[in-house]
């Protein structure tokens, strides 16, 4: 069996201020996300998964780049980009925002942060939203600035996150509500700290906007985390599938509309919002979607990585495609996301899944999340 290919690093694969600590902690593999390095494994995917669900981890997610939108037309530009009504958002609030083009295709699914009435950050999944935002602002003559600021999120995730964060930022960090943020100080600098993160285990994201304090903050969290069995970590493939967390670029792309991705509750196309994708998504909502993301439970042991979509079949007919999969130790089953055709997405439906080597596994349609 050939050894897996390695990632050649260069200036195009941008590092983060935390990269020296990630490397010292023994990172075993990276992927590229928003043209930056993102760790994917430390001990093993399975060991990292078990630890995340029991203790606390520190994640370098500096690759979650921000598009800063600031100026008199900031709210208008953000609303143009998303079919979610942002009119009721308040300062200090985070909001999940499907970004949709004029054809109804998903551009990205960032978390937005409202910093002020005229200032937003869009904390991005993996795609070049900055260019789209700048193109819209220029083409429409909007009075906004749209830079990519020097902000590198650092995530603290896991059931012991509150206890660790209280050691470094004080007891008031426990009062931050889910998808809200506060500004709390470290070394006399106020950092935006949100109760959020790409896991279902609870935790925080610290938006580090002082590169000179980045390693000092990492070290303080690492030292304070020793009683809580802290380890380095990263978004975990098994845990995110169990939790129903879709990945842009894997489970949804511009070929999908937000309704197909199960994001109906964020599509306020029945309201008089000025959103580029409003009419296209409203049309799909009126006519009904032809496919829908669902969970699959696949019989048998572990499966290979889902580097290409796997056919899902019923009576020999192709009825969907697996986009992500992983063996769940806690569920003792392979769990997966699949985009299923209309008429074949009912929970409990028996299916066959064609693996890359041509073998077939029995499976069944499941609701999301799995856990």
User: Last residue of some domain: 241, 272, 304?
Assistant: 241
Look up the domain containing 316 and give its range. Answer: 291-371
Task: Please give the tally of structural domains in the chain.
Answer: 2
Is 42 among the domain residues? yes
User: What is the model's pLDDT at position 303?
Assistant: 93
User: What is the model's pLDDT at position 179?
Assistant: 98
At 237, which CATH number? 3.30.1360.120
User: What is the model's pLDDT at position 12?
Assistant: 85
Tell whether 296 and 364 lie within a shared domain. yes
Tell whether 224 and 343 lie within a shared domain. no
CB 61 within 8 A of CB 233: no
- The string of pLDDT tens digits covering residues 207-256 is 999 999 999 999 999 999 999 999 999 999 999 999 999 999 999 999 99
Is 156 among the domain residues? yes
Is 221 among the domain residues? yes
CB 142 within 8 A of CB 76: yes
Is 304 among the domain residues? yes
List C-alpha distances in Å: 343 to 33, 166, 313. 35, 49, 12
Give dist(CA 297, CA 181) in Å, integer: 36
Token pair in block for residue 39:
């760790």
Tell whether 34 and 179 lie within a shared domain. yes
Q: How confident is the model at residue 1 (pLDDT cuts 50, 70, 90)?
A: very low
Tell whether 57 and 174 lie within a shared domain. yes
Tell whether 194 and 331 lie within a shared domain. no
- The string of pLDDT tens digits covering residues 253-269 is 999 999 999 999 999 99
Tell whether 305 and 370 lie within a shared domain. yes
Is 313 among the domain residues? yes
The answer, yes or no, to whether the previous bond of 369 is cis (omega within 30 of 0) is yes
- The string of pLDDT tens digits covering residues 293-309 is 999 999 999 999 999 99
Tell whether 58 and 158 lie within a shared domain. yes
Return the DSSP state at 2.
Answer: P
Tell whether 200 and 295 lie within a shared domain. no
Is 70 among the domain residues? no
Tell whether 368 and 303 lie within a shared domain. yes
At 370, which CATH number? 2.40.30.110
Give dist(CA 277, CA 120) in Å, integer: 20
- The string of pLDDT tens digits covering residues 141-193 is 999 999 999 999 999 999 999 999 999 999 999 999 999 999 999 999 999 99
Is 164 among the domain residues? yes
Tell whether 192 and 308 lie within a shared domain. no
Is 161 among the domain residues? yes
Give dist(CA 362, CA 349) in Å, integer: 11
Pairing state of beta strands 106-108 and 99-100? antiparallel
Closest CA to 62 of 41, 32, 94, 92: 32
Tell whether 327 and 215 lie within a shared domain. no
Tell whether 57 and 167 lie within a shared domain. yes
pTM score: 0.96
Share the mean pLDDT of the chain.
96
Ordered DSSP codes for 181-192: EEEEEETTEEEE
């Amino acid at each position: 069996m050939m050894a897996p290919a390695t990632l050649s690093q260069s200036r195009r694969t941008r590092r983060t201020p935390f990269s020296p600590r990630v490397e010292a902690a023994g990172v075993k593999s990276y992927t590229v996300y928003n043209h930056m390095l993102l760790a994917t494994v430390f001990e093993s995917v399975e060991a990292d998964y078990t630890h995340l669900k029991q203790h606390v981890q520190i994640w370098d997610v500096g690759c979650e780049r921000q598009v800063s939108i600031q100026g008199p037309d900031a709210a208008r530009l953000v609303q143009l980009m998303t079919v979610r009504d942002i009119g009721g958002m308040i300062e200090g609030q985070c909001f999940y925002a499907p970004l949709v083009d004029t054809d109804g295709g998903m551009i990205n699914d960032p978390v937005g942060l409202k910093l002020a009435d005229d200032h937003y950050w869009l904390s991005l999944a993996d795609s070049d939203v900055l260019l789209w935002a700048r193109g819209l602002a220029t083409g429409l003559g909007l009075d906004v600035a749209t830079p990519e600021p020097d902000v590198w999120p650092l995530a603290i995730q896991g059931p012991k996150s509150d206890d660790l964060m209280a050691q470094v930022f004080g007891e008031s960090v426990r009062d931050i509500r889910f998808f809200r943020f506060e500004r709390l100080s470290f070394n006399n600098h106020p950092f935006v700290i949100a109760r959020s993160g790409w896991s279902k285990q609870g935790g925080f994201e610290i938006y580090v906007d002082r590169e000179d304090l980045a390693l000092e903050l990492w070290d303080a969290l690492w030292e304070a985390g020793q009683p809580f069995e802290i380890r380095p970590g990263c978004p975990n493939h098994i845990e995110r599938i169990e939790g129903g967390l879709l990945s842009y670029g894997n489970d949804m792309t511009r070929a999908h509309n937000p309704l197909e991705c199960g994001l109906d509750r964020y599509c306020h196309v029945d309201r008089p919002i000025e959103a580029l994708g409003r009419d296209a998504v409203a049309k799909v909502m009126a006519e009904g979607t032809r496919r829908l993301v669902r969970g699959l439970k696949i019989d048998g042991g572990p499966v290979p990585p889902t580097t290409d979509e796997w056919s899902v079949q019923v009576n020999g007919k192709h009825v969907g495609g697996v986009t992500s999969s992983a063996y769940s130790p806690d569920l003792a089953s392979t769990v997966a996301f699949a985009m299923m055709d209309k008429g074949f997405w009912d929970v409990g439906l028996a299916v066959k899944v064609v693996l890359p080597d041509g073998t077939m596994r029995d499976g069944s349609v499941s609701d999301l999340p799995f856990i």
